[in-house]
Chain A
């Protein structure tokens, strides 16, 4: 048993922390306030090879590992959950399925620029009537000569409108249920593909969340990802990894909130002494620190399993369930510990509390994680 990070992972943490504090934190409040997509962060991350951490160098990646990637999302999310999810959706959802299921040609054409950070990735599964019930896909893809013709729409797509490359799911055979779903690689500038409603959200406000619309959108046949009818499997496998990214985001949000709260408790004086001297508040800090450390162990364990070819379906679900819970409970307590100031935009904890909520919802709600965990246990 060895719980220490490797030297590489340690250095990744230091670099990501420095990057997050110097480049991302100064604009985090503005990104939240205005809801603008922080393009400059994406460009800077690309320059430092942060957009392809777990992929091999031969495919344009950094040649790193899943734990280092989890650490990167965590460190970004400590100061800006928006930037954390941009990296997570790009890496786990937009790039990984092409790495895992793509042909060599698809990898060279699409994964290499994604992993190098020249292009941004996204993933389109959710539809108005296919949320948790992802099998209820209504978007259809019909083979017509050398092309599949896509019709339908997707909603709540992270990096929507900002991404260059999308992994999109559609029904190729309605009669087969989940076995009738296929995955496609769709380029942003494909005729017939457009961006619809842009969501105005409670948190992660700088992250682009949009509707994707396909109207007789012709996708070259060679952009079918994996085999026809294997889309649902690809989607589920992708979400297993995505959950590690979101669990890392939740972990980062919680740690970031606790860090600023500890500073506040040491400075803020009431009844002639700093808040940190009050035992009732110390107990809250102790509980938060414990929860965050437990979450970190679950997250790194899931990432470690993924990196080492071990099963991680249950581990990723447990990590996301617990880390999301922790993010929500810790940020709520941190606002409480800041008192009235915590409810204002003068301190970042209210933003962190709003950002935390989504981690209990996207890439599988907490209830879906419970279903996944229970299915593993009761098998």
Chain B
């Protein structure tokens, strides 16, 4: 089986600064990590590989050259190959341009059974890139996957929706987006870290010239999104209420309060 995992390197905080002119994120000085949902996507691919050792897991990312750290980390977790799409031509891409660039690369790779993405990235929070890639490639998509079963030529996925679960059976190839409930990502192995750096060519860097990509729809110029303003919203008024009484009484009070607010 061939699995492709799309992942994004993101700043390790929601408190990143925003460029006042461009309205984009300032990434310098903020530690970078693999986007959390993408880690779950990768873990699922590696779990499938653990059960079916002939599985090949390829990770694909788009980003600046230093995003290779995220791919090395993915290799250290157990991925087989990594491709970094990196070119000035991709700079400033919105979700449309990003999914165009990634979908082009996946077409080039061609051979895959499952594409796994994280639900959404903690920096942009759009949850659009995964579904858009599926549309570009004409693939069925199953989003918000919290349980996955892989069978011969098909997958059975359980989607977590607000009011319940939705179990979907689908033939491969298929694109899935993972949520954190799907699994508990493993730690990169120390051995894997040294191996990933020793074997230099395991992260292949593709520029826009290295594969067939729709030039009109990449980078800042190919991005239909215009950011009119980025700002930090003012905090909402919050109030704290102390529930008196013993534990049992306080718990009863808490249930009443939560029901009043339709939380439970």
Main secondary structure of the interface of B (DSSP, over half): helix
Check A7–B190 contact: CB distance below 8 A.
no
**Contact B190–A62 (Cβ < 8 Å):** yes
Q: Which of B17-25, B105-113, B119-127, B181-189 forms part of the interface with chain A?
A: B181-189
Which of chain B's residues has its CB closest to A68's CB? Answer: B190
Per-residue A-contact encoding for B30-58, CB less than 8 Å = 1, 0 else: 01000000000000000000000000000
Cβ contact within 8 Å between B187 and A15: yes
Report if A226 contacts B (CB, 8 A).
no
Q: Is the interface of A mostly helix, strand, loop or mixed?
A: helix
With A47-B186, A48-B186, A63-B198 as contacts: A11 and B191 at CB distance below 8 Å = no
Count of CB-CB pairs between chains A and B under 8 Å: 56
Given A7-B69, A11-B73, A64 and B187 touching (CB < 8 A)? no
Q: Is B197 interfacial (CB-CB < 8 Å)?
A: yes
Q: Assuming A7-B69, A8-B197, A11-B76, is B187 touching A62 (CB within 8 A)?
A: no
Least CB distance from B50 to A in Å reads 12
A192 to B22, CA, bound (A): 75
Give how many A residues have a beta carbon under 8 Å from the other chain's beta carbons.
22
Q: Establish whether residues B69 and A49, one from each chain, have CB atoms under 8 Å apart when the complex forms.
A: no
- Given contacts A11-B72, A63-B195, A63-B198, whether A18 and B187 have CB atoms under 8 Å apart is yes
**A33 an interface residue at 8 Å Cβ cutoff?**
no
A47 to B188 alpha-carbon distance, docked (Å): 10
Q: Which residues of A contact B191 (CB under 8 A)?
A: 49, 57, 61-64
B186 pairs with A11, CB closer than 8 A: no
Question: Contact between B197 and A49 (Cβ–Cβ < 8 Å)?
Answer: no
B193 within 8 A of A: yes
> Are A49 and B190 closer than 8 Å at their CB atoms?
yes
18 pairs, CB–CB < 8 Å, chain A vs chain B: A7-B69, A7-B197, A11-B69, A11-B76, A11-B188, A14-B31, A15-B187, A15-B188, A48-B189, A48-B190, A49-B191, A62-B193, A62-B194, A63-B191, A63-B195, A63-B198, A64-B190, A64-B193
Residues of B within 8 A of A (CB): 31, 69, 72-73, 76, 186-195, 197-198
